[in-house]
Amino acid sequence: MSGNDKTNGHGVALRVHACAKTFADGTRALEPVTLDVARGETVVLLGPSGCGKTTLLRIIAGLETPDAGGRILFNEADVTRVPIERRNVGMVFQSYALFPNMNVSDNIGYGLKIRGVSEAERKARIAELVALTGIAGLEHRRVDQLSGGQRQRVALARAVAARPSVLLLDEPLTALDAALRERLRGELNRLLRTLGITAIYVTHDQAEAMALGDRIVVMRRGAIAQVGTPRDIYFAPANRFVAEFVGAANILEAECNAGVLLLPGGRLALANDAAAAALNGHANGRIFAMIRPESIRIIAPDGAALTGEVDSVSFVGDRQRAAIGGVAGKPIMVDVPNSTPIKAGDRVGLSVDPGDIRVLAGDTA
């Protein structure tokens, strides 16, 4: 499967230039957005519903036209005015949009048939894709006889059959239940790497985004909040919105004095660069600091720089999540190993590595 020239290495470099979208009723769905996607790269558009991620995907697909001034380039060629049927894209829809009047192979082979590919070649390609997506044996089924996961695979096979320049996926796993979603996410990841195709993936699920994306574009209110690798987004969120949307985050609003956060529950030292960032924009004033629940450790309260009282503990299997009150303005979340005995009412001390505290631009709260 891998190393096959026919399967591999298609895709273009994609450029979205100043694309905005205002709908006929005056709704501004997308502010001018500029984005470059390298050949073979998987970029995930992540954001809450209504953030413009699907609109951006549809503009790239050619299903929507950007407002004047916006341009879409495939390998430097301007395709803004090219309708979707001539853009050579592959698309996986949230509802899959499989054709109920065709069986599985006819669905997968439709794009090839449209392009006038001979029947023999079509058959070979369908067989290849059926094997690749693990749906062998279902070729002659009608699509309404398939399970959700099978439909998803057929939709994917159909979208890549004609070797599109860009593969566009609009929340392809959202319609599935949690366990299946996780399994297919892994398969999808392997497939995208195998195909080496340029892919744009839309989701509101941050776990999916981190698992699949070479880069993540976090969107909010029609604009890009941050672009970065999953690690960048997680460990160095650009602002409070990104910090809270991606993963769990404690956002502490506190006074900062000489590199030390002053909290109701004690003091918390910042690392030099974080302190510099805090001083840079905010001088000695109130700042927003982000700490992930997993970077906080529970220690003995005696002599700890920061103390609080356990409000509640919830056991989630692989760990426990405790809410600790009295530390900051609102309870802070702390991940505790599942073997540590801890219960509501306990007095605890908290310890955080200064490098794990990030000072945020708080203006977008």
Stretch 46-65: interaction string toward another protein, x if CB under 8 A: ---------------x-x--
Least spacing, CB of residue 86 vs another protein, in Å:
7
Residue nearer to another protein on the CB measure, 86 or 343: 86
Residue nearer to another protein on the CB measure, 172 or 349: 172
Neighbouring residues of 157: CB distance < 8 A, sequence distance ≥ 6: 108, 126, 129, 130, 132, 133, 135
Beta-carbon neighbour count of residue 287 at 10 Å?
24
Neighbouring residues of 46: CB distance < 8 A, sequence distance ≥ 6: 53, 203, 204, 206, 209, 213, 216, 217, 218, 219, 245, 246
| 89 lies in the binding site for another protein (CB under 8 A) | yes
Least spacing, CB of residue 143 vs another protein, in Å:
9
d(CA 67, CA 26): 12
Q: Name the one range near another protein by CB under 8 A: 82-90, 220-228, 283-291, 324-332.
A: 82-90
* Token couple for 289: 């600091």
Least spacing, CB of residue 193 vs another protein, in Å:
22
β-pairing verdict for 71-74 and 77-78: antiparallel
Stretch 95-124: interaction string toward another protein, x if CB under 8 A: x-xxxxx--------xx--xx---------
Distances (CA, A) of 267 to 164, 274, 280, 286, 333: 56, 15, 20, 14, 17
Q: What backbone torsions phi and psi does residue 104 show, to the nearest 5 degrees?
A: -60, -50
8-state DSSP, 85: G
93, 253, 294, 301: which one binds another protein (CB under 8 A): 93
Q: Name the one range near another protein by CB under 8 A: 73-81, 154-162, 185-193, 215-223.
A: 154-162
Residue 204 · residue 218 · CB < 8 Å: no
Residue nearer to another protein on the CB measure, 60 or 324: 60
Residue 326 · residue 362 · CB < 8 Å: no
Least spacing, CB of residue 177 vs another protein, in Å:
21
Residue nearer to another protein on the CB measure, 114 or 365: 114
8-state DSSP, 63: S
Contacts with another protein in 7-36 (CB under 8 A)?
24
Q: What backbone torsions phi and psi does residue 248 show, to the nearest 5 degrees?
A: -90, 140
Q: Name the one range near another protein by CB under 8 A: 34-42, 89-97, 293-301, 302-310.
A: 89-97
Please work out the total of residues on this chain that contact another protein, with binding judged by CB under 8 A.
27
| 69 lies in the binding site for another protein (CB under 8 A) | no
d(CA 100, CA 123): 20
CA end-to-end distance (rounded Å), the chain: 47
Residue nearer to another protein on the CB measure, 91 or 263: 91
Binding positions for another protein, rule: CB under 8 A: 24, 61, 63, 83-86, 88-91, 93, 95, 97-101, 110-111, 114-115, 144, 158-159, 162, 168
